[in-house]
Structures are given as C-alpha cells and as structure tokens.
Amino acid sequence: MINKVAKKMWMLRLMLLLSSLAAASSSNVKPGSGCQEKCGHVTVPYPFGIDNSMRAMNKNFFLNCSRRDSLPKLVIGDLEVFNLSIENGSMIASFFTAHRCYDGLGNRTSDYNEPYVKLGSRPWRLSDTRNKLTAIGCDTSAYMGDPDGSFWTGCISMCTNESAKLNESSCSGIGCCQILLPKSLKSLNLTLRSVNDHEDMGRFMPCDYALLADETFNIAEFLASEDKSSSNVTIEWVVKEKKCPDDPNSKVYGCGDNTACYYSENGQGYRCRCKPGFQGNPYLGCVDIDECLDEEEYLCEGNCKNTIGSYTCDCPVGMYGVGKVGCRGFRIITIIASCVVVLGLLFLLPIGLWRWYKFIKRRRKIKRKQEFFKRNGGLLLRQELSSNEGNIEKTKLFTSKDLEKATDNYNVSRILGQGGQGTVFKGMLTDGRIVAVKKSKSVHESNVEQFINEVVILSQINHRNVVKLLGCCLETEVPLLVYEFIPNGSLYQYIHEQTEDQLPITWEMRLRIAVEVSGALSYLHSAASIPIYHRDIKSANILLDNKYRAKISDFGTSSSMAVDQTHLTTQVKGTFGYLDPEYFRSSQFTEKSDVYSFGVVLVELLTGQKPIRLVETEENRSLAAYFLQVINENRLFEVLDAEVLREAKKEEVITVAMVAKRSLNLNGKKRPTMKEVALELAGIRASIGDSVLQQCEEIDFVDYDNARNFKTGSSSTGSFFNSVTFSVDGDPLLSNKW
C-alpha cells in the first residue's frame, strides 16, 4: 500500500515537473524580438506596454504612443521617451528647458516658460545620480522645487566681463552652475530668474537657461543647437516601491523564472534581474545561457559543456590548467622531467634488483665459505693451532680472496706443476712474498682429520730443508695449502732434465743434497715431537732453492704416528721405483720404508739414472734392483755418472754406495735408520775438507750439544764427524734415539 502511494506521489511530482518545464519554455517565447512592440524607433519591452494596457504588467507601465506626427512618439504626458532600459531600470525622456533672452537694455526679447514634471503615482523617479540642474548665463539664477512649494533649491551664475566667457566643453562654474537633484523626486517645478535683467552684466551673454539634464548633456552642443526647448533626463523605475522579500527563494511579484530581486536606492523599490548564467527579460523569465556558443564572452580552451546556470570546461588530454582561464601544453621541462623520472624508475628498478641479487649471492657465498671451512676442519684446525700458541703466527689461515688475488684467480699460466695430489700455482701475496699454492684434490670427509693433522704437523716443522708451510685456506671447496716458493725446481729435473744453461751437478753438490735430505728426514723421524714419515721420498719431491739447498716437499701422503699408530694402511701409497718392496708386500709402512726410498735417491745421485730405467728386460727396470746387482757384481764404477766419476774420490763414492746398498736392503730391519744414514753421509762430507766443513754449520739436523758431548767423550783427534762416521755401525749410543 505504502509503496503504491509513494509511486503515485512520485508520478505526480514528475508530472508537475514536466508541466513547469513546459510553462518555462512557453514563457521563453515571449521575449522573442518578433513579438516586441515598437513605437517609432523605440522598442517597448515588457513590463511596459503601449496602446493596449493588457500588454503591460500593470497600468503603471502603460505608455501612450502618439501617432500624430509622421513618426510615432512614445510619450508620457508631454514628455517624449527615447529609451527604455530593462537592465538599468531606466528610461530617457525629454524635458522642457526654461530660457529667457534680453536686449542689453533690460528689455526681454524672448519669453520664458516654467516647465514642470509630474510622474504621479507611478513607481518612477527622476534619477538624482544622473541628473543635474544646470543654469547658464551671467546674470542668472535657476530654481527647482516641488509643485507644493514645500522646498526650493537652485544656483546663481553671475559674471562681469568677457574673460568669464563660457567654457564650452563643460560647466566650469563661470557662466554656468550646476547642482544635484534632491533624492527620489517624482515631480518638479523649474523656475528661472535674472537679478538685474541683464542691464549691465550679461551683455555678452544675452540668454539665461535653466534645465534638467543627465550626464550626456554637452553645453557646446546645446548652445549650438537650434532647438533649445528640451533636454534629456533619466528616469528610474522599479517594479514595486518595496524592499525585496527576505527569503531569496520566494517568488517575487513581477519577476520571472531564474531571476533574483534587487533593491534600488534611487528607485526606492525593487527590480528583477537574471541569475548568473541566465539571460533574457527577467520580468518574463530568464533562460540558461549556452556559454559554449559564445566563445568571446565565456572563454573556454578545452572541452566546453553547458550546464544549467553555468558551464564546465576541461582542458583536453595532454594539456593542463583551468579551461575557463586557458589551457597550456605541458612545458618541455615538465615533459623532460617526467621522462627523467620515468626513465630513472625504469633504471633504478633493475639496479635495485641487481643489488638485491648481489647481496643474496654474497651472503650465500659467505655461508658456503663458512660451510667449507667447517667441513675442511677449520674449527678443528683453529683449535689445534690455538692450543699450540707458539705456531699460530707461522701458520696462517688465508682467505679465499687472498689466494684468488695471489694466483690471479688460479690462472693457467701460474701453474707450477700438477700431480696426483693437486695442482700447484705460483702466487704473490699482498706483502710481496712469492708463494706456491697447492690446490688439493677433493678431500673426503673421512680424510679431513688427517688433513688437519698434517697441516698442524707441518706447521710445527721448522726445518731448513723442509719446505715451509705458510698457511692454508679452508674456505674453498678443496683445501688450499700455501708454501714458500722454491725457485729452482726439483732434484729430479736437475738430474734428469739438465738444460744447457744449468750448472753441472757436481759431486760436492750431490753429497750436500744427500746430507741435507737425510738430515731433514732424520729430523722428521726422530727429532720432531711426533715421528713423521714422509712416505713419498723421491727426487721429484726434493726441491732446490736459489742456493741449490734441498727442501723436502709434498707431505700430502705423509703420516705421523699419532694418526697412523698401527702403520697399517689399506692403501699402499708412494711412487713406483721408490716404493719399499717390503711395504708393498705387507702394506705396513715403517720408518725404514722412507730409508729405502732415500736409498733410491742416493743411487739416482750416484748414477744419474732414473728410478725406472728405460731398458727392455723387465728384471733390470728397477734402478734399485739393478744397482744392487751391479754392487754384487763389483761393477759400481761402470754405472757411475760421468761427473761423479770425474770428481769424486773413490773411497767417498764407495762409502755412499755402501750406504745406498744397505738402505736398499730388502729386509727393512737390516736397513740403517735415517739418523745413521744422515750421520754417515755427513761424515763423508766432513772428510772432504775444511772448506766444506764450514758449510756443515748449515746442517741443521745436528744437535750441537750432543755433538760436543761426542767430541768430549772421545779422545779422537779427528773431527766430530769422522768419529761418528766410523762408529755408526753397531754403536749402541747412535742406534739409540737422541
């Protein structure tokens, strides 16, 4: 039910709205120019009307159109109306002037009238702002007053000589005077007087004038014109001599649609005018202005759209600003700036992503390094090293970055050698030290502890004839070892790959190298805190420094007692040709296995032949076996190296050969210890001469305190080394450990 009623109400409202619209459009027809009345030249707009009073709003606006003359005149009583203005609420009408002329003797030559105006009850008044009472003459007084004579007011113009001639363009005050009209007059009497009737004064101005005129009045024009009987005044009219209603929305009497009421102080009442955005005759109703059609009046550079009472104007795409004021194209700078911003964003985004990617990558790398460090036993090593405080400085933990830099990122040109255990690179540390970096082959988890042990042990060895381990790097996937760099290659190269520019390897050198190597091995076997077996003694692992001093290297397969208590290994390691046959058979490595390998090196030094000989027959391929056979057949001097044969004394060669022979004994137990070998070789060397003796001071392995004990303990007049040499075999003192 409620719904139905609401629907009906809505329908009713719609109909009302439609009918009001229809009414508005019908009223719009009225102000059409074709329908406007005219009287002569003067258009008579509503609310005015002529002839038929029905056309005027009311009787107050009814005007007479006098058709007595050829051209019809719009008249109000005697006054002719020239112009009716709806906008200003004004009309322009003619008004009679008062004038009188004299002959200069006091006799009037033309008569005068006393004009008056009576607007009656109409809501019309003489404008007090536009109109003025003007008197012209040199003996003239002009007055105006209401017909009742309740007030009079006026001005007097007197002048005595020609200098007072009228200023013709305006009323200067000499020869003419002006006063404003009193407010809101509806009727007025005008009077003109001459004080002296122009007897003396005013001879040069024979006429007096008194007139009401608006601002269009011009004295010169007036004086020049023939008909001086009238002047134009402005009359203001209002719809009603009332104030506007307080409620601005209320329908005001006389005003049409879309209008507003306004009060005129002069007219003492209200008038109507169109609301902003509307046009037309406000007394008939105003219609919306289509501003978009009038581009001159209503500026719009954009897309104009008319609305009721107004219009919108949006700047077109690509322009900015207020359309009603003016649209502007984007300035080049704005375009460039926005391009820069966009490009910047496009540019920054990948950079940001790249940075982020880098960051992630770096973090992953660091994590990986830490993992490697852990896996490679870094923690264990660090612990070991810190428990062994004296050596921390010597063994350094290098970072992977250090070594990458040192080896020029493991450049192929830096490779010194490649072996079963890994690749050795030459590198230069930031402090300028030349080093050899050994990149181990993958280290299995199970070997890590051993590897660490090895590093720890090597770091503890500080022997002149052992390659010094400077440090290691555990951050990489495979551990890296950093050694001091030994410039002159290996003994193997020196013996077997002699180049022409190399010094020939003298007997003296051979002997010294043998002494140095045996001394270092002896030290490793017995003097170091835990016995260390090299397990891969061969001439290729004996390096020569710049003074051709021997340096044992490559402890990759070495083991210490601590790690390998049983000496039993599942895998026989070593190099064929140097390998102890007993160890090969039993898989049990002993200190004598190193002695055997050293024996082979001795034979190499003596014969200059490789451990595996290049001969057809299988049995004599091993240099060791061949050597033993040669000794047995007493043909030693047939196989000696030419250099040795030339330089060495027979006894020295024989002694060294004997040491080699015993070292190569197939029964390990019958081989001498490394210490015995060392002492024996040192003895031979000492016997060579005093000059050599001095060099012997460089032999580190000798414990000098013990040596002195020997010396003082024996009455031998020979050198300490001599006495040792002869007491090696079976000497209980020497076969015991130092």
Contact 102, 200 (CB under 8 A): no
Stretch that binds ligand NAG, among 20-28, 77-85, 610-618, 676-684 (CB under 6 A): 77-85
| 536 tagged catalytic | yes
Token readout for 320 is 């900015």
In whole angstroms, how close is the CB of 39 to ligand NAG at the nearest point? 9
**Which residue is it, tokens 């009287």?**
39
Cβ distance to ligand NAG smaller for residue 146 or 652 = 146
Q: How far is the CB of 8 from ligand NAG (least distance, A)?
A: 50
Determine the Cα–Cα distance for residues 713 and 704; give it in Å rounded to an integer: 14
Which is closer to ligand NAG, CB of 34 or CB of 432? 34
20, 160, 196, 411: which one binds ligand NAG (CB under 6 A):
160
Give the burial string for 715-737 (b: 16+ CB within 10 Å, else e): eeeebbbebbbebbeeeeebeee
By CB under 6 A, is residue 486 in contact with ligand NAG? Answer: no
List 39, 50, 92, 327, residue binding ligand NAG (CB under 6 A):
92
What DSSP line would sit under 629-641, residue for residue? HHHHTT-HHHHS-
Nearer to ligand NAG (CB atom), residue 130 or residue 414 = 130
Do residues 198 and 100 make contact, with C-beta atoms less than 8 angstroms apart? no
Task: Rule CB under 6 A: say whether 34 interacts with ligand NAG.
Answer: no
Q: Name the minimum Å distance from CB 89 to ligand NAG.
A: 9
Q: Is 167 in the site for ligand NAG (CB under 6 A)?
A: yes
Query: Are 330 and 320 spatial neighbours (Cβ–Cβ below 8 Å)?
Result: yes
The span from the CA of 166 to the CA of 210, in Å, is 15
- With contacts defined by CB under 6 A, name the span among 8-16, 85-93, 423-431, 610-618 that binds ligand NAG: 85-93
* β pairing state of 469-473 and 396-397: parallel
Query: Which contacts (CB < 8 Å, 24+ apart) does range 401-409 have?
Result: 402/429, 402/430, 402/473, 403/427, 403/437, 403/473, 403/476, 403/480, 403/482, 405/430, 406/430, 406/435, 406/437, 407/437
Q: Least distance to ligand NAG from the beta carbon of 21, Å?
A: 31
CB-nearer residue toward ligand NAG: 164 or 656: 164
Instruction: Decide: 685 and 697 in contact? Cβ < 8 Å.
Output: no
Among 28, 64, 588, 609, binds ligand NAG (CB under 6 A): 64
Rounded to whole angstroms, the Cα distance separating 89 from 271 reads 7
Q: How far is the CB of 312 from ligand NAG (least distance, A)?
A: 31
Among 19, 36, 109, 161, indicate the residue that binds ligand NAG (CB under 6 A).
Answer: 161
C-alpha 320/C-alpha 329 separation (Å) is 6
Residue 82 CA: distances (Å) to CA of 95, 123, 235, 274, 657: 11, 19, 11, 24, 156
For strand 259-264 and strand 269-274, is the pairing parallel, antiparallel, or unpaired?
antiparallel
User: What is the smallest separation between the CB atom of 280 and ligand NAG, expressed in angstroms?
Assistant: 15
Minimum distance from CB of 12 to ligand NAG (Å)?
A: 44
H or E element at residue 13:
helix 2-27
Torsion of CA 408, 413, 418, 424, to 10 degrees: -30
If we measure between CA atoms, which residue out of 54, 45, 53 comes closest to residue 282? 45
The residue from 139, 536, 594, 641 that is catalytic is 536
Q: Does residue 88 bind ligand NAG (CB under 6 A)?
A: yes
For position 82 contacting ligand NAG by CB under 6 A, the verdict is: yes
Q: Which of 33, 70, 121, 162 touches ligand NAG by CB under 6 A?
A: 162
Q: Of 105-113, 320-328, 528-536, 722-730, which part binds ligand NAG (CB under 6 A)? A: 105-113
Instruction: State yes or no: residue 36 binds ligand NAG (CB under 6 A).
Output: no
Q: List, in order, residues 6 or more apart from 151 with CB less than 8 Å away.
A: 145, 182
If binding means CB under 6 A, how many residues of this protein chain bind ligand NAG? 34
Work out how close the CB of 85 gets to ligand NAG at its nearest, in angstroms, rounded to a whole number: 3
Of 105, 317, 332, 345, the one binding ligand NAG (CB under 6 A) is 105
In the range 211-240, which residues lie near ligand NAG by CB under 6 A? 230-232
Q: Give contact residues for ligand NAG (rule: CB under 6 A).
A: 41-43, 63-64, 75-77, 82-83, 85, 87-88, 90, 92, 105-107, 116, 145, 147, 149, 160-163, 167, 169-170, 172, 189, 230-232
Catalytic residues: 536
